Amino acid sequence: MSAGKKFREALKEESPLQIVGTINAYQALQATKVGFKAIYISGGGVANASYGLPDLGMTMIEDVCIDIRRITSICDTPLIVDADTGWGHAFNVARTVKEFIRAGAAGLHLEDQVAAKRCGHRPNKELVSTEEMCDRIRAAVDAKKNLDPDFYIIARTDAHASEGQESAISRAKAYVEAGADAIFAEAIHTLKEYQEFTNAINVPVLANITEFGATPMFTVEELGSVGIAMVLYPLSAFRAMNKAALNVYQELREKGTQEGVLDTMQTRMELYDMLGYHEYEQKMDELFARSK
């Protein structure tokens, strides 16, 4: 079964489908072990964690593919990937789709911002025309045909913040007409507005429940009640990791010992259990025994 097909099956099995951000392969293992049926790579997360850069469109396609491969090589939970604006014109978008599929991704989302994009929850976002975004979507849909027809194409619109709800819904309808499998409505403020999207559009709608942004912390139940099909938590674990790590560094620097923060750390055995360390060790012993 292809990665795209696995994601579509997950979408049927769980409603709304929770999709959690996994900043690296180890987090992908953690999310899978907890029971999540779909995982995610954030473009902002790649920029922040892998390159120490802000989410301002400074990373490129191969930067993202490196992290995709790391995750999909160790974890078969379907992975949705943030493709920003697709890294260029229609041919670039097509290449993005093909490279993501080859790297093992199950789907992606493309957004309707200009190439010099901003975080979806920051002011002064600029959008391309509806026609240009539709060209991106058509290129993406065409590119997946011979590699993974089930590869999932999500069209993200940032129009709510800069053009208003009516324009955002109008754009979303056009994106569906262009072939998008689903709509990612960014920076929405109310459940009523989500309901307006789901009433107007005949494909699944994704809600981005990111912390410290424009969208309130709606629950899965609340979002399901207005027809949302997917709920995304792009950087929740990453933010927690960052806070915990900084606390450890400060403790070490100020007190000269980590003893006071041991209770915030994962133990060695917990790490080994997550990685299946002992299974690897047993296999190594078997191989060495045969060579003697």
Q: Which residues are annotated as a binding site for substrate?
A: 42-44, 119-120, 156, 186, 208-210, 239, 268
Q: Is 203 left (phi over 0), alpha (psi -120 to 50) or beta?
A: beta
Q: For this structure, is 277 an active site residue? A: no
109: annotated active-site residue: yes
Which run of H or E residues covers position 71?
Answer: helix 61-72
**Catalytic option among 67, 112, 158, 186:** 186
State the catalytic residue, choosing from 14, 67, 99, 111: 111
Is residue 253 within a helix (H) or strand (E), and if so which, with residue range? helix 236-255
* Active-site option among 14, 55, 158, 196: 55
Residues contacting 194, CB < 8 A, separation 6+: 185, 188, 205, 207, 223, 226, 227, 228
> Is 55 annotated in the active site?
yes
Upper half-sphere CA count for residue 157 (Cβ side, 13 Å) = 32
Of the listed 84, 99, 112, 148, which one is catalytic? 84
Query: Is 111 marked active-site?
Result: yes
Active-site choice (14, 82, 112, 196) = 82
Beta carbons within 8 Å of 67's beta carbon, 6+ residues apart: 24, 41, 46, 50
Clarify whether 160 is annotated catalytic: no
Residues of the binding site: 42-44, 82, 84, 119-120, 156, 186, 208-210, 239, 268
* Active-site position among 8, 14, 24, 40: 40
Q: Are 204 and 172 in contact (CB under 8 A)?
A: no
Is 40 marked active-site? yes
Instruction: Identify whether the C-beta of residue 154 lies closer than 8 Å to the C-beta of residue 184.
Output: yes
Most distant CA pair in the chain, distance: 73
Identified catalytic residue from 109, 121, 136, 160 = 109
Amino acid at 57: G
Select which of 48, 65, 75, 119 is catalytic. Answer: 119
| H-only helix segments in 73-213 | 90-103, 130-144, 159-162, 165-177, 191-200
As a whole number of angstroms, the distance between CA 153 and CA 143 comes to: 11
What count of other Cβ atoms lies within 10 Å of the Cβ of residue 51? 11
CA distance readout (Å), 233 to 17, 21, 110, 201, 209: 11, 6, 17, 22, 5
Feature table: binding site for Mg(2+): 82, 84
| Distance separating alpha carbons of residues 47 and 54, to the nearest angstrom | 6
Q: Which is catalytic among the residues 121, 171, 196, 208? A: 208
**Residue 135 known to be catalytic:** no
Is 84 marked active-site?
yes
Assess whether 102 carries a catalytic annotation.
no
Task: State the catalytic residue, choosing from 70, 136, 138, 156.
Answer: 156
Active site residue 156: yes
For the annotated catalytic residues, the residue numbers are 40, 55, 82, 84, 109, 111, 119, 156, 186, 208
